[in-house]
Amino acid sequence: MTTTSFDQLASAILDGKPATEDDALAVLRAHDDELLDVVAAAGRLRRHFFGKTVKVNYLVNLKSGLCPENCNYCSQSLGSTADILKYKWLQTDEALEQAAAGLKGGATRVCMVSSGRGPTNKDIDRVTDMVGAIKAEHPQVEVCACLGLLKDGQAERLRDAGVDAYNHNINTAESHHDTIVQTHTYADRVDTVGKVKSAGMSPCSGLIAGLGESDEQLVEALFALRELESDSIPVNFLMPFDGTPYENTWELDPTRCVKILAMARFVCPDREVRIAGGREMHLRSLQGLALHVANSIFLGDYLTSEGQAAEADLELIRDNGFVVLGSEEDTTAAAATTVESRDPAKRRRGAGTTVAPNA
Ligand code: SF4
């Protein structure tokens, strides 16, 4: 595809003609020389639907590790020897304290996550208590729950307790699913997304890139998410934890990650495309460029890994000319203030010193 073609594709999408699978493949396979053209075209869609806002989400891991499922990519899974935090359910006051920290940091959505195949009815009781406590103190907050596969009636109970959205990622293409997990099926995952929609909560479902899938399978997953009408699409980049079957699996580089996000934008132009786990590790210095395509990030840490400092996330948003959704802040002024308040670090190494140079 040529520069003009990416731009024409964006124009056609804005005129109501959805991207095809061939269009998506062309974006994914764009030459690195065309990266800025891809970003410029995808950025037109991003700005059309989301302006310069970035939605900031905050994860609270309610229960970590100890999961009986065998998702090969997951540090919390059965058989993983990854050295992660493992703990049982947080108490309501602990969950409230964690959520409050994220909201104070600028998040507008709190994502309450627990490991496990799916919640028991007692687990639903716990989570509804937590949601009630969070909403009582922070009535403006959006709450998303992510508790695994849902049984009949559980989605309605969460909705009635005030849960706004429910996350359940399809993770990968149906044609690739059984190679990444064997203890549940792709159909199980789709069933839970269906229950979420039927209950009237906002479905949040996304994917993980870098799991050995082909380009065609990445496209297949994105079109499945379009079909499922996922309102928000977290795009994770595999973090290959030591002690999991995917340790030492490095299939991604920063430009590939930007193209994957751009493809998500072209296929699902008006959906929240969230840069999720692996943002710092895989996008590295292209995080800012990626924000011109995606419109949502997690603030601070992930479920079992640390992200960059929350202040660096906010700086990333400001420095690229975006604003936190729901914030009235004048980011240009805020960025200038931040820079002015910093005294440059004085060189104390290299020439003129006896300390090794920074090279
Ligand atoms: S992804 Fe969820 S269900 Fe799968 S192993 Fe991890 S915590 Fe368990």
Which residue segments constitute the domains of the chain, with CATH numbers given? 3-325 (3.20.20.70)
> Annotated catalytic, 146?
no
CB 220 within 8 A of CB 165: no
List residues near ligand 1 (CB under 6 A): 67, 69, 71, 74, 76-77, 115, 117, 148
Better-scored residue on pLDDT, 2 or 72? 72
Q: What is the mean pLDDT of the chain?
A: 94
pLDDT at 338: 55
- Mean pLDDT to the nearest integer, 11-28: 97
Res 77 pLDDT > 60: yes
Res 336 pLDDT > 90: no
Gap from CA of 231 to ligand 1 centroid (Å): 22
Q: How many residues does the chain have?
A: 359
SS3 content of the chain, % helix, strand, coil (to 5): 45, 15, 40
- Give pTM, 2 decimals: 0.94
- For 198, other C-beta atoms within 10 Å of its C-beta total 11
> Annotated catalytic, 257?
no
Q: Which atom of ligand 1 is nearest to the CA of 115?
A: 7
Gap from CA of 230 to ligand 1 centroid (Å): 20
Gap from CA of 96 to ligand 1 centroid (Å): 23
359 - beta bridge partners? Answer: none
Q: 3-state class of 13 per DSSP?
A: helix
From 146, 204, 257, 268, active-site residue: 204
Res 274 pLDDT > 60: yes
What is the rounded CA–CA span in Å between residue 37 and residue 276?
23
State which amino acid sits at residue 66: L
Dihedral sign (CA 340, 279, 203, 183): negative
Helix (H) or strand (E) holding 332: helix 331-340
Give tens-digit pLDDT for 211-260.
Answer: 999 999 999 999 999 999 999 999 999 999 999 999 999 999 999 999 99
The C-alpha angle with vertex 357 and arms to 354 and 358, in degrees rounded to 5, equals 145
> Annotated catalytic, 44?
no
Give tens-digit pLDDT for 290-306.
Answer: 999 999 999 999 999 99
Gap from CA of 61 to ligand 1 centroid (Å): 12
pLDDT at 1: 66
Res 288 pLDDT > 90: yes
> Annotated catalytic, 71?
yes
Q: 3-state class of 193 per DSSP?
A: helix
From 44, 46, 109, 111, active-site residue: 111
- Mean pLDDT to the nearest integer, 72-88: 94
CB 61 within 8 A of CB 304: yes
What's the pLDDT band for 340 if we cut at 50, 70, 90? low
Provide the token pair at 105: 């940091």
Give tens-digit pLDDT for 117-128.
Answer: 999 999 999 999
